[in-house]
Chain A
């Protein structure tokens, strides 16, 4: 077999790519200083495709793992919230960024996930419906049931397009809120709320014990943070894999030009339905985790403003990037915490009402304005900003 022989059929492989007959493995002497030297399609499409990224990703995960042991209660709560919002953001990004279907109803699916978890794993003795099962059953169900509802709603979404869809999902949100409010056996009724799922995972009560392993102290809050972080990493990898697979390319084709996609053989109906179901499942898990974090959930909290928060994560972080959603979640969750810290230095900013403006109002105005700014100026969000800065320094001093 000669060195440059190509397998029969349309493999897409070229002679040049079959460098030194290496099957994509290049000697490090050749690769040094050329991080984007790819010699096979597989390495080019790898999830972490350069060594620098590998190192930084590893450091980032280490940093995330070390956070609970170095930060105090309020910050730990914020970081847990960050992981949860990142999951929700990734879910919406799959639907909005990759498949191009605008949705204002994400909060409804989060609520659905929260109530599923609360019913399956809630304490039967409390005020609302609960079966007291394990979280190992409740969390998958919190993904499956919103996913199924997403499947039921999706045919509607495939029938209407663009802006009509945005209004339709808005309708879903309001109808959902009405159902939550009215079905008081499920939600504890309007204004009252109910207790969320019990923190029992694989038969172990997460609230009961504090473990100490060497210098590390695992309080219940730390354990919960680590669970959320693990889920975020797993779900982010899953989303990244979806995005770079056939399904993800079908999403992008539908987003860019749905008729052209259909002509190329992409099944519009199937693709849009899948995008809806996947995004709803992600929202469901995020909602369940959120409900367990905050303890009490009311039917009113799954409203338009929560949807817009998630929308802000996607737009500010960067449309159609998974890492962007995590950056966006960090921004959206940590900004209020930082603003609250700043209140002592800024006289016109206050924590509660009074003063010129309070933290909540300022943060919401900022989110709104930033959505406008990012869509008009840098549509790839903070992630795009980062790419620009990186490219500037990469080419420095020839950065013109």
Chain B
């Protein structure tokens, strides 16, 4: 029972990170119709920036997080202006190819920046944990909770921060003038222009927001009581099945997909070795893709995605 609750909470914490990453995909996709495969690389750069501000410059973790969000938002805006803006009106296929190219280039740059040394972000939570109904023991830098339920503070921190940001984003997109302008842009760019909306500005804004969200995801992802390396960007790719699961253009779908994937992965991690060891080590890393394929077979546009209407 404790195992179950523990993996659920851990799953929700991890899932909220995936939800943030998936959201950052959706924000870009709704505004510009581009599936940005470079997002995982931006996430790891966000984690790196957080680490530089927090460790090398010795700033408070939360200030470092905000600064990293600003840096990555600016980088993301630059990418949009240089590489994506010329592709307006061209096929989504070409734009997706561009972002694959960007992903590999940025990923290698982040590998170089990390210099193959794992980094930490000096987060306030560390490995400290709550222990419900048991006695807390700390040895060798690991915390264990005998006979009780262990809840890491960083899990709680992730869930709280992600919830705040996601709620703020939803309200902002639904209520503010900019949110309205963004929705108008995503519906029809020419009509939006005719209404006096600065469509180019909306593209920049959405890429900046998306960059900020993904940097936050990176900074939070790094606060895992352990270290982060550039190869962790590949784990962020798991946000893609989460995204497809919810539907490429659905904000709600991204959050639900992210949480579902996070929980599923952690449940698999806890129970698969006992139930089905023949599936191999680290099987939880492919669970999201299997779930995604099954969902796509039944609903080709994801759970909440808009069905593409074809006009001839």
Residue B152 interfacial (CB < 8 Å): no
Which of A159, A171, A376 is close to B289, meaning CB atoms less than 8 Å apart?
A: A171
Which of A156, A190, A311 is close to B97, meaning CB atoms less than 8 Å apart?
A: A311
Chain A residues with Cβ below 8 Å from B289 are: 170-172, 174-175
Binds A, one of B68-76, B155-163, B277-285: B277-285
Chain B residues with Cβ below 8 Å from A161 are: 300, 308
B108 & A102 in contact (Cβ 8 Å cutoff): no
Name the residue on B nearest A376 (C-beta).
B86
How many of chain A's residues touch chain B, expressed as a range?
A: 35 or more
Report how far A167 CA is from B244 CA in the complex, Å: 8
Binds A, one of B98-106, B122-130, B168-176, B202-210: B98-106
Residue A308 interfacial (CB < 8 Å): yes
Interface positions of B from 95 to 139, Cβ below 8 Å from A: 96-98, 100-106, 108-109, 111-112, 116
Which of A168, A364, A372 is close to B98, meaning CB atoms less than 8 Å apart?
A: A372
- B67 to A: closest C-beta gap in Å: 25
B102 & A368 in contact (Cβ 8 Å cutoff): yes
Interface positions of A from 83 to 120, Cβ below 8 Å from B: 100, 102, 104
B248 & A164 in contact (Cβ 8 Å cutoff): yes
Residue B301 interfacial (CB < 8 Å): yes
A104 & B100 in contact (Cβ 8 Å cutoff): yes
Name the residue on A nearest B85 (C-beta).
A376
- B249 to A: closest C-beta gap in Å: 10
B297 & A376 in contact (Cβ 8 Å cutoff): no
A368 & B101 in contact (Cβ 8 Å cutoff): yes
Which of A171, A172, A371 is close to B100, meaning CB atoms less than 8 Å apart?
A: A371
A163 & B300 in contact (Cβ 8 Å cutoff): no
Interface positions of B from 237 to 283, Cβ below 8 Å from A: 237, 240-241, 243-244, 248, 278-283
Name the residue on B nearest A372 (C-beta).
B101
Interface positions of B from 196 to 240, Cβ below 8 Å from A: 234, 237, 240
Interface positions of B from 5 to 41, Cβ below 8 Å from A: 35, 37
Which of A102, A361, A376 is close to B83, meaning CB atoms less than 8 Å apart?
A: A376
Instruction: Digitize A351-391: 1 where CB-to-B-CB distance is under 8 Å, 0 elsewhere.
Output: 00100010001001101111110011001000000000000
Residue B310 interfacial (CB < 8 Å): yes
Report how far A156 CA is from B97 CA in the complex, Å: 21
A375 & B94 in contact (Cβ 8 Å cutoff): yes
A170 & B240 in contact (Cβ 8 Å cutoff): yes
B285 & A375 in contact (Cβ 8 Å cutoff): no
Report how far A369 CA is from B108 CA in the complex, Å: 11
Residue B151 interfacial (CB < 8 Å): no
How many of chain B's residues touch chain A, expressed as a range?
A: 35 or more
Report how far A156 CA is from B109 CA in the complex, Å: 35
Residue B140 interfacial (CB < 8 Å): no
Question: Which secondary structure dominates chain B's binding surface?
Answer: helix
Which of B37, B104, B282 is close to A364, meaning CB atoms less than 8 Å apart?
A: B104
Chain B residues with Cβ below 8 Å from A162 are: 92-93
Residue B193 interfacial (CB < 8 Å): no
Residue B290 interfacial (CB < 8 Å): yes
- A260 to B: closest C-beta gap in Å: 7
Which of A167, A178, A308 is close to B292, meaning CB atoms less than 8 Å apart?
A: A167
A376 & B285 in contact (Cβ 8 Å cutoff): no
Instruction: Digitize A152-187: 1 where CB-to-B-CB distance is under 8 Å, 0 elsewhere.
Output: 000010011111101110111011011001100000
Chain A residues with Cβ below 8 Å from B102 are: 368, 372
Q: A-B contact count, CB below 8 Å?
A: 131
Name the residue on A nearest B243 (C-beta).
A167
Residue A305 interfacial (CB < 8 Å): yes
Chain B residues with Cβ below 8 Å from A181 are: 280-281
Name the residue on A nearest B237 (C-beta).
A170
Report how far A64 CA is from B282 CA in the complex, Å: 45
B101 & A156 in contact (Cβ 8 Å cutoff): no
Instruction: Digitize A185-202: 1 where CB-to-B-CB distance is under 8 Å, 0 elsewhere.
Output: 000001000000000000
Report how far A175 CA is from B294 CA in the complex, Å: 13
Report how far A357 CA is from B292 CA in the complex, Å: 38
Chain A residues with Cβ below 8 Å from B112 are: 357, 361
Most buried by A among B101, B280, B297: B101
A375 & B101 in contact (Cβ 8 Å cutoff): yes
Name the residue on B nearest A373 (C-beta).
B101
A376 & B98 in contact (Cβ 8 Å cutoff): yes
B279 & A160 in contact (Cβ 8 Å cutoff): no
B96 & A163 in contact (Cβ 8 Å cutoff): yes
Residue B293 interfacial (CB < 8 Å): yes
A164 & B244 in contact (Cβ 8 Å cutoff): yes
Chain A residues with Cβ below 8 Å from B279 are: 182
A371 & B101 in contact (Cβ 8 Å cutoff): yes
Chain A residues with Cβ below 8 Å from B86 are: 376
Chain A residues with Cβ below 8 Å from B116 are: 353
Report how far A156 CA is from B98 CA in the complex, Å: 25
A260 & B100 in contact (Cβ 8 Å cutoff): no
Residue B55 interfacial (CB < 8 Å): no
A371 & B98 in contact (Cβ 8 Å cutoff): yes
Given contacts A156-B296, A167-B292, contact A370 B285 (CB under 8 A): no
- A361 to B: closest C-beta gap in Å: 5
Residue B286 interfacial (CB < 8 Å): yes
- B33 to A: closest C-beta gap in Å: 9
B241 & A175 in contact (Cβ 8 Å cutoff): no
Residue A263 interfacial (CB < 8 Å): yes
Report how far A174 CA is from B293 CA in the complex, Å: 12
Residue B312 interfacial (CB < 8 Å): yes
Contacts A/B (CB < 8 Å), 30 sampled: A100-B93, A102-B97, A162-B93, A163-B248, A164-B296, A167-B35, A167-B292, A170-B240, A171-B289, A171-B293, A174-B289, A175-B289, A178-B282, A181-B280, A182-B280, A259-B310, A259-B312, A263-B312, A304-B237, A315-B97, A353-B116, A357-B112, A365-B104, A365-B109, A368-B102, A370-B101, A372-B83, A372-B98, A372-B101, A372-B105
Having A167-B35, A175-B290, A365-B105, one finds 7 other A-B pairs with CB under 8 Å, namely: A163-B35, A164-B302, A167-B240, A178-B286, A365-B104, A367-B101, A372-B83
The 4 closest A-B pairs by CB, nearest first: A182-B280, A371-B101, A368-B105, A171-B289
Chain B interface residues toward A at CB < 8 A: 35, 37, 83, 86-87, 92-94, 96-98, 100-106, 108-109, 111-112, 116, 234, 237, 240-241, 243-244, 248, 278-283, 285-286, 288-290, 292-293, 296-297, 300-302, 308, 310, 312
Chain A interface residues toward B at CB < 8 A: 100, 102, 104, 156, 159-164, 166-168, 170-172, 174-175, 177-178, 181-182, 190, 259-260, 263, 304-305, 308, 311-312, 315, 353, 357, 361, 364-365, 367-372, 375-376, 379
